[in-house]
C-alpha cells in the first residue's frame, strides 16, 4: 500500500516553529492498529488521519502512544493540507467529525480559525506530587481540573524556567498539565507550557486543545473575549483565542515542511 503523508508546522510563527503534526488523508477508514503504528513511526506530538464521509471528514488523532479525544494543532494542520493539496477549494469551510463532536475550520490555508468546544474547569487540590514533579516551589494562584490539570503561577519567568521530572509527572492520572501565567510583554495576554508524559509527549510545543481550558479561564481575569496567547516551548507558537458562549475559536498559521509517501 502507498499512502501520502505530510508534516505541517501549526500555530507557527514561521517554518520550524509551532507544533509539528503528521497529516495522512486516506481514501477510506484505516485499521486502528496501523494508524497507531504510523503515529509511533512519525514520533510527532500527534498524527492526524482523515477520510471523506459524505460532506464531512472523519478525523482521528494519535500520539506516539495513544489515540486522543481532541487535538487543536493537528486539526489546524489537517485543514491546511486539505486546502493546499487540492482536496477542497482553498478557504472552503471544513467540517470534521471527531470523538469530540463536530469541529470546523475556516479561513485560508495560512491563517486558519478552528471552532472548538469550551472546556469546563473545576478548582481542585493538587494531585500528590504534581507540583514537585513540575518543579514549582511557590504556592500556585490556582489549580483546576478539566481533561487536563491547569496550574496558574505568579509570573512568566516561572513558566519559562520549569524543568519537570517527566517520570514522576507521567504517573499522574491525566492527559496532561498546562502551566500558565500572565504575559510580561505587551504582545501577548498570557503564556503557557504543556506537559503530557502519560500520553507519550514530555512537552508539547503548542497545544490548541489546552486553550479550550485557557480561554475561559483567562477571559474573566483579563476582562477580554479575544486574546493573544503564546506557548513558551523551545519551538514556541502563537494562538489567537476568542470565547463565544460555549465555543472557543482558535486562530493560527500553518506551513507544510515535508511531503512524503508511506510504502507499507
Q: Which of 42, 81, 86, 77 is nearest to 62 (CA)?
A: 42
Cα separations in angstroms, 56 against 21, 92, 132, 146: 21, 12, 44, 28
φ, ψ (nearest 5 deg) of residue 77: -65, -40
> Hey, what's the cell of 210?
489546552
Q: How many Å apart are CA 73 and CA 120, to the nearest integer?
A: 20
Q: Which residues are catalytic?
A: 46
The strand pair at 94-98 and 67-68 is best described as unpaired
Evaluated on CA atoms 93, 112, 207, 247, the torsion sign reads: negative
Number of Cβ within 10 Å of residue 137's Cβ equals: 8
Within 8 A by CB and 6+ apart from 10, the residues are: 18, 19, 20, 21, 72, 73, 74, 76, 77, 80, 206, 208, 237, 252, 254
Residue 170's closest CA among 125, 210, 134? 134
Amino acid at each position: 500500500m502507498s499512502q501520502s503523508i505530510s508534516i505541517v508546522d501549526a500555530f507557527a510563527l514561521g517554518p520550524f516553529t509551532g507544533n509539528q503534526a503528521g497529516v495522512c488523508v486516506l481514501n477510506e477508514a484505516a485499521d486502528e492498529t496501523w494508524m497507531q503504528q504510523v503515529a509511533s513511526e512519525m514520533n510527532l506530538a500527534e498524527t492526524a488521519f482523515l477520510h471523506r464521509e459524505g460532506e464531512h471528514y472523519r478525523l482521528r488523532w494519535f500520539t506516539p502512544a495513544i489515540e486522543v479525544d481532541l487535538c487543536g494543532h493537528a486539526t489546524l494542520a489537517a485543514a491546511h493540507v486539505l486546502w493546499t493539496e487540492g482536496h477542497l477549494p482553498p478557504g472552503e469551510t471544513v467540517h470534521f467529525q471527531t470523538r469530540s463532536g463536530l469541529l470546523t475550520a475556516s479561513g485560508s490555508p495560512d491563517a486558519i480559525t478552528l471552532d472548538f468546544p469550551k472546556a469546563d474547569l473545576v478548582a481542585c487540590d493538587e494531585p500528590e506530587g504534581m507540583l514537585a514533579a513540575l518543579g514549582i516551589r511557590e504556592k500556585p494562584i490556582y489549580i483546576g481540573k478539566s481533561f487536563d490539570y491547569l496550574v496558574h503561577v505568579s509570573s512568566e519567568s516561572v513558566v519559562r524556567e520549569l524543568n519537570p521530572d517527566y517520570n514522576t509527572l507521567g504517573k499522574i492520572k491525566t492527559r496532561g498539565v498546562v502551566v500558565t501565567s500572565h504575559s510580561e510583554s505587551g504582545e501577548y495576554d498570557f503564556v503557557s507550557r504543556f506537559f503530557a508524559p502519560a500520553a507519550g509527549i514530555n512537552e508539547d510545543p503548542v497545544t490548541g486543545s489546552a486553550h479550550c481550558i485557557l480561554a475561559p479561564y483567562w477571559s474573566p481575569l483579563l476582562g477580554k473575549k479575544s486574546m493573544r496567547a503564546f506557548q513558551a516551548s523551545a519551538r514556541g507558537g502563537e494562538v489567537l483565542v476568542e470565547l463565544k458562549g460555549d465555543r472557543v475559536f482558535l486562530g493560527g498559521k500553518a506551513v507544510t515542511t515535508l511531503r512524503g509517501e508511506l510504502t507499507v
